[in-house]
Amino acid sequence: MDLFSFDPGVTLTFLFALMRISVILFLMPFFGGQTLPTPAKAALCLTLTLALWPRLPLVGDQLPAHPFSLAVMLGAELLIGLILGLVIRFVFAAIQTGGQLIGFQMGFAMVNVVDPDSGASEAVTAHFLYMVSLLTFLSFNGHLYLLSGLMQSFDVLPPGSILITERLVSQVFVLSGQIFVLAIQIGAPVIAAILLVDLALALVSRASPQMNVLIIGFPIKISIGFLFLGIIFEILTLHMEGFVSRMPLLFSQLIGAMR
């Protein structure tokens, strides 16, 4: 591709690629949040687009003849980036949901921190597990698998081409449903342990009514919760390692379903 040949096909190819890459990056943890300034994120999107642009196939015969057709093709690129970005976002959403469940059981329902990525308040345990999972994701080179899947999407789906199929919709719904499954798997050890603590405190309260179980129960539940967080770290690492290793297959299935 001649970088200095700014014909409509070259220009639209760059525009479509920029749209797809920008959507994926803005959905990514850390990169897409409020931690990075907007100019830095825009520069990163432009840099990646310029790096991939010379080897992308031109739009060619698919040049839109009407502004509405151009809007549809831009929307298709937005949808491709949205679907691929949500694959990563779903996993971190599941981890944050599990952290919310843990924080509620430990008595941290009113102890919230502001998430620097989204600007929303969340439980301290949810934010803690999110940061641990983000570091784990980067340590397993998940960001490199993401860039590989992004390049694969351009090889299989050139700019300006997408087909919404029943298989694609089904896979997206299945992935979204895994949020709650993974959240329960992550929070189950702490939830089960604190449930046993509540049962023991109920028996103590029944046997000794004069004992203030409410005051005693808070530090016990918090201590047990932090103790079992060590078990969650191992579970979280195994889940993240398995997810990163399955990322090429997930991207291949989703991209194949768009053809």
* Stretch 140-151: mean pLDDT: 85
Where residue 117 falls among pLDDT bands split at 50, 70, 90?
low
Residue 258 has pLDDT above 80, yes or no: no
Strands, E, within 45-170: which ranges?
Answer: 112-114, 121-123
C-alpha to C-alpha distances, 129 to 28, 40, 103, 176, 225, nearest whole angstrom? 16, 26, 11, 19, 13
Averaged pLDDT of the chain:
79
- Hunting for tokens 């195994």 — which residue is that? 238
Tokens linked to 194: 């604190």
Among 11-25, 161-175, 205-219, the range with the most confident prediction by mean pLDDT is: 11-25
pLDDT at residue number 65 = 63
Q: How far is Cα 146 from Cα 124, in angstroms, rounded to an integer? A: 28
For residue 19, the tally of other CB atoms under 10 A from its CB is: 22
* Stretch 97-119: mean pLDDT: 75
pLDDT at residue number 107 = 77
* Stretch 11-20: mean pLDDT: 83
Looking at the chain, the whole-number percentage of residues with pLDDT higher than 70 is 84
pLDDT at residue number 66 = 66
* Stretch 192-213: mean pLDDT: 83
Where residue 14 falls among pLDDT bands split at 50, 70, 90?
confident
Cα-Cα end-to-end distance for the chain: 24
Give the burial string for 43-65 (b: 16+ CB within 10 Å, else e): eebeebbeebbeebebbeeeebe
* Stretch 205-218: mean pLDDT: 78
Give the burial string for 204-219 (b: 16+ CB within 10 Å, else e): ebeeeeeeebeeebee
* Stretch 2-21: mean pLDDT: 73
* Stretch 38-59: mean pLDDT: 81
- Hunting for tokens 């290793």 — which residue is that? 245
Contact 92, 57 (CB under 8 A): no
For residue 154, the tally of other CB atoms under 10 A from its CB is: 21
- CA-atom Rg of the chain in angstroms: 23
Residue 110 has pLDDT above 80, yes or no: no
Question: DSSP class of residue 61?
Answer: G
